[in-house]
Amino acid sequence: MKTEMPLPSPSILDNDFYKFTMQCAVVQLFPDVKARYTFINRGAHEFPDGFGAALRDLVDRMAELKLAPEEHRYLSKNCPYLNAAYLDLLAGYRYDPSEVCIEQTGTALEVSVEGHWFRTILWEVPLLFLISELYYRLTRQQRDSDEQVIRNTIEKTTIYKELDVPVAEFGTRRRHSYEVQRLVVDTLTAHGGKSFVGTSNVHLAMCARTKPIGTHAHEWFMFHAAKYGFTMANALSLEHWTDVYRGDLGVALSDTYTNDVFFEQFDKKFAKLFDGVRHDSGDPIAYSEKVIAHYKKLGINPAYKFIIFSDGLNTGRVAEITHAAKGKIGISFGIGTNLTNDVGLKPMNIVMKLTAVQFDGKRWVSTVKLSDEPGKHTGDPGMIRLAKEVLGIE
């Protein structure tokens, strides 16, 4: 079953920014590590006949993408913390479809990726948006018109401007389609004013002349736990990040092994080195109060720090958080699915997680993530139990 798109993606930069920043760090610090990623169908979606074959076709054609000279110049100018050696490596990078395994049995879909971490790290987000886009196309679901998408986006950004809060678009991985995401970013750029501060999608940031936004993801901490142990994961993840970026990209993700465990290790050194933290699970208002108290305990004025909220946000949730936290600490919001897949259809609930890593060609070590929301725990059940025991998590 062939698809209509001439290419599965318009650019190799059609990806979340933190995949490139992490890739740069992996190349520098862990070039020999191998990784395994696994697709998780949280929404129990049923895939139509031929879906796996159609996805295989799209994945195979990802190998045609390469960094264009103007894209290289854009990254060099706008992201100076990505060193010249990395950008040259990216210029020579090509997706290797043989790293991706796709199997469909009935309506069930299995997708996994395996290979060197510095190479496979770029597959996660494209695989998710390809699955999402292909699902809507092959199930023949009709989305809202472009005009309705624009109206919806203008209504949302009007609220964000009234709240006077910074908002970034974070919706690449579960977008309805590239066309919708492009429409949303263009509308935010035209109507968002100073409230719209950028997008996680590097290609669209370049097209819209806005800022690419992102630092690192859960997999950075999951890898460190597998290599160095659960008790050292947060501290070494942050230490290695600062070794590479020397103060740039200073937002720390806090919930890979629960926020409570993170802040036990987020001491004065890290609290001063990092500009702020990102919230991705648990109650956001309780989280903001915890972060403010933590900074105050360390003798740091929270007004000079900030929190990026990025967990399942919509206009109502943003307003609630703003009223609770604004003026106490800097706040901004990364909004994903509510912007790029609010088109009159049910958004997909799918993720792709780092599930194992291999060091020096030895045995594979399972990776786990312990969210503040139990339903978001991922990984081998035995390893999850071990992590909870080691970290003292009930």
**345-358 average pLDDT score:** 97
Shared domain check, 243 and 193: yes
Asked if residue 334 and residue 252 are part of one domain, the reply reads yes
pLDDT tens column, 196-218: 999 999 999 999 999 999 999 99
- Give per-residue pLDDT as tens, 8-56: 999 999 999 999 999 999 999 999 999 999 999 999 999 999 999 999 9
> Does residue 208 share a domain with residue 334?
yes
Query: Is 60 exceeded by the pLDDT of residue 4?
Result: no
β-bridge mates for residue 196, sequence order: 167
Tell me the residue type at 23.
Q
pLDDT (0 to 100) of residue 375: 66
The pLDDT, as a whole number, for residue 374 is 67
What CATH number is given to the structural domain containing 49?
3.20.140.10
Residue 6: pLDDT band with limits 50, 70, 90: low
For 116, which DSSP code?
Answer: E
Q: For the segment 116-141, what is each residue's pLDDT rounded down to a tens digit?
A: 999 999 999 999 999 999 999 999 99
Structure tokens given for 74: 């854009």
Domain total of the chain? 2
Same-domain status, 271 and 292: yes
Residues 164 and 281 in one domain: yes
Residues 158 and 134 in one domain: no
Residue 165 falls inside a structural domain = yes
Range of the domain at 358: 17-142+347-369
Q: Which pLDDT belongs to residue 1? A: 39
Answer yes or no: is 389 within a domain.
Answer: no
Verify that 220 and 295 share a domain, yes or no.
yes
Q: For residue 384, tell me if it sits in a domain.
A: no
279-314 confidence digits (pLDDT tens)? 999 999 999 999 999 999 999 999 999 999 999 999
Structure tokens at 25: 């760090």
The sign of the torsion formed by the CA atoms of 34, 172, 138, 9 equals negative
Whether 119 and 156 share a structural domain: no
pLDDT range class, residue 113, cuts 50, 70, 90: very high
**Mean pLDDT of the residues in the chain:** 96
Q: Are residues 134 and 158 in the same domain?
A: no
End-to-end CA distance of the chain: 48
Q: What confidence category does residue 371 fall into, taking pLDDT thresholds of 50, 70 and 90?
A: confident
Q: Does 75 share its domain with 224? A: no
Output the 3-class SS for 18-43: HHHHHHHHHHHHCCCCEEEEEEECCC
User: Which ranges constitute the DSSP H helices of 298-361?
Assistant: 315-325, 337-340
* Strand partners for 306: 276, 330
Confidence at residue 373, expressed as pLDDT on a 0 to 100 scale: 80
Which 8-state DSSP code applies to residue 375? G
**Structural domain includes residue 99:** yes
In the predicted model, what is the mean pLDDT of residues 93-112?
A: 98
3 pLDDT above the threshold of 60? no
